[in-house]
């Protein structure tokens, strides 16, 4: 059997094993990415020079109170309203360990499979091609857990925003208030780049041999 066919089988089998390895995110992972998204959202608006006018003009002619947007409760509220929705932009990178399996962008395995499809190789994963990029069960569950956790610890987040921004949000929220000592492991996990041989996926997809073959992940 030709080398390309073996590579196709390997790619599809890898995806099948990843599906079998599906698991729901734990509290550490949820808190970690909640803080990542909240901090990123706040960073986007932190340099705003907008000034808000609060209160009504009274008959006495007293002026409205002015407050900078980047220190206002409005900025925090707007950020908190959107961060859990942002979790849906994540994908499961099953080839990575621990919490690193969750990241934005297409996973190596999925990118390779898509390249195979674009080259004419028929890949059967048990769901339509147009649904391959839909949020997975894991990611959808993380969004729900994010919403629950944010509601439960809303006052803690507000306390950090108004009084403790000199401390890292992850440490203040996750380490101090949300997680037990035995649940902190994922906070130490840092992404250091893709594992394996760089470019192997592109090489697999660039080969012209094997076109027209159908590989069913469920049969391998």
- Candidates 11, 209, 23; CA nearest to 111 is 11
The tokens for 88 are 């849906």
Asked whether the predicted pLDDT for residue 154 surpasses 70, the reply is yes
Rg (CA), the chain: 23
Task: Report the percentage of the chain scoring pLDDT > 90.
Answer: 42
Averaged pLDDT of the chain: 75
* Run of H or E including 68: strand 65-68
The pLDDT of residue 62: 58
CB atoms within 10 A of CB 186: 21
Report residue 18's pLDDT band, with 50, 70 and 90 as the boundaries. very low
The tokens for 77 are 């509220």
The tokens for 85 are 């929705």
Report residue 10's pLDDT band, with 50, 70 and 90 as the boundaries. very low
- Token pair 């949020």 is found at 135
The pLDDT of residue 23: 84
Q: Whole-angstrom Cα distance, residue 190 to residue 2? A: 38
Cα 185 from chain centroid (whole Å): 18
Q: Whole-angstrom Cα distance, residue 107 to residue 4? A: 21
Q: At 96, is the secondary structure helix, strand, or coil?
A: coil
Q: Whole-angstrom Cα distance, residue 24 to residue 178? A: 18
The pLDDT of residue 205: 36
More confident residue, 197 or 64: 64
The pLDDT of residue 78: 92
Where is average pLDDT lowest: 75-89, 115-129, 170-184? 115-129
More confident residue, 26 or 122: 26
The pLDDT of residue 135: 78
What would the pLDDT profile of 87-102 be if each residue is shown by its tens digit?
Answer: 999 989 888 889 999 9
Q: Whole-angstrom Cα distance, residue 37 to residue 87? A: 8
Cα 36 from chain centroid (whole Å): 9
The pLDDT of residue 122: 81
* Run of H or E including 142: helix 137-152
Q: Whole-angstrom Cα distance, residue 160 to residue 164? A: 4
């Amino acid at each position: 059997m030709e080398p390309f066919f073996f590579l196709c089988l390997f790619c599809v089998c890898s995806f099948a094993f990843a599906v079998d390895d599906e698991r729901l995110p734990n509290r550490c992972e949820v808190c970690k990415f909640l803080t990542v998204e909240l901090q990123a959202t706040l960073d986007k608006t932190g340099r705003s020079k907008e000034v808000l006018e609060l209160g009504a003009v009274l008959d006495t002619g007293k002026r409205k109170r002015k407050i900078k947007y980047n220190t206002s409760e409005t900025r925090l509220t707007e950020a908190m309203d959107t961060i859990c929705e942002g979790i849906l932009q994540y994908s499961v990178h099953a080839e990575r360990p621990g919490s690193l399996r969750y990241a934005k962008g297409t996973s190596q395995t999925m990118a390779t499979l898509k390249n195979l499809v674009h080259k004419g190789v028929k890949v059967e994963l048990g769901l339509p091609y147009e649904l391959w990029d839909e949020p997975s069960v894991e990611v959808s569950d993380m969004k729900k857990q994010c919403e629950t956790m944010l509601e439960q610890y809303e006052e803690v987040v507000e306390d950090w925003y108004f009084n403790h921004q000199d401390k890292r949000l992850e440490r203040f929220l996750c380490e101090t208030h949300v997680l037990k000592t035995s649940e902190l492991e994922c906070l130490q996990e840092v992404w250091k780049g893709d594992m394996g041989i760089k470019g192997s996926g592109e090489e697999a997809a660039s080969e012209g041999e094997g076109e027209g073959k159908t590989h069913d992940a469920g049969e391998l």
